[in-house]
Amino acid sequence: MEISRRDFLKASGAGLGGIIIWRALGSDKKGFPKDITLKKEAIGETPTICCYCSVGCGAVVAASEDKNLVVNLEGDPDHPINQGSLCPKGQALLQINNVDGKINPYRLTKPLYRAPGASDFTEISWDDAIERIAARVKETRDRTFIKTDSNGKTVNRTEAIGSFGGGELDNEECYILSKMDRALGLVYMEHCARL
């Protein structure tokens, strides 16, 4: 019986299906690998949808045992739109996470802070970042809040805070951003759909 990738994913439940990766370390004079290690640990397979254009192609992500690195990424053969194929950007998805087995050095891994006039960022904690953001938002909002307009009409808005993003966020993220922006009284809220 032929097992489709879908069945394979189903059978593997939480995605514990193992695939074996041949890793060549150097080669002999004829070009054959001289030292081969068999990667034997379970690496899992998780379906995803590409984050670049809007076609919505499926890909399958395999992760290292500690779940900290993507070790393989390929087109999802069961996906009805791309049927296993990926374009150059889709094939490069892996490098968003890592380059040659190390986290992509350009990825941000800590919150950063740039003080007024400073010439560089400094690392800060998440707690510090969140406290600063909330304090700035509240101060600006409350000081600039327009409760009623010149006609005495309740308008409950601030025109002093803008919100951008994000055609790259998940729907659920977009939704709570939409909700929180409005709760705060923002009207200047936009994203790349306008571009």
Question: Which residues within the stretch 134-163 sit at the binding site for another protein (CB under 8 A)?
Answer: 134-138, 140, 142, 144-145, 147, 149, 151, 153-163
Q: Interface with another protein includes 122 (CB under 8 A)?
A: no
Q: How near is the Cβ of 87 to another protein at its closest, in Å? A: 4
Residue written as tokens 């990667």?
A: 39
Are 111 and 125 a contacting pair, CB within 8 Å? yes
Q: How far is the CB of 95 from another protein (least distance, A)?
A: 4
Supply the minimum distance, in Å, between the C-beta of residue 2 and another protein.
14
Closest CA to 81 of 94, 90, 70: 90
Q: Note whether 42 binds another protein by CB under 8 A.
A: no
Distances (CA, A) of 112 to 75, 109, 120, 123, 127: 35, 9, 10, 5, 12
Taking CB under 8 A as the binding criterion, the range among 21-29, 30-38, 52-60 that sits at the site for another protein is 52-60
Contacts of 99 (CB under 8 A, 6+ apart): 105
CA distance 40 to 1: 25
Q: Are 42 and 54 in contact (CB under 8 A)?
A: no
Q: Tally Cβ neighbours within 10 Å of residue 61.
A: 20
Find the binding residues for another protein in span 75-94 (CB under 8 A): 78-83, 85-93
Question: Near another protein by CB under 8 A, which window of 22-30, 32-40, 57-65?
Answer: 57-65
Contact 14, 87 (CB under 8 A): no
At its nearest, how many Å lie between another protein and the CB of residue 67? 5
Residues 7-26 that bind another protein (CB under 8 A): 9
Closest separation in Å from C-beta 26 to another protein: 21
Comparing CB distances to another protein, the nearer of 34 and 138 is 138
Give the residue, chosen from 17, 38, 69, 74, that forms a contact with another protein under the rule CB under 8 A: 69
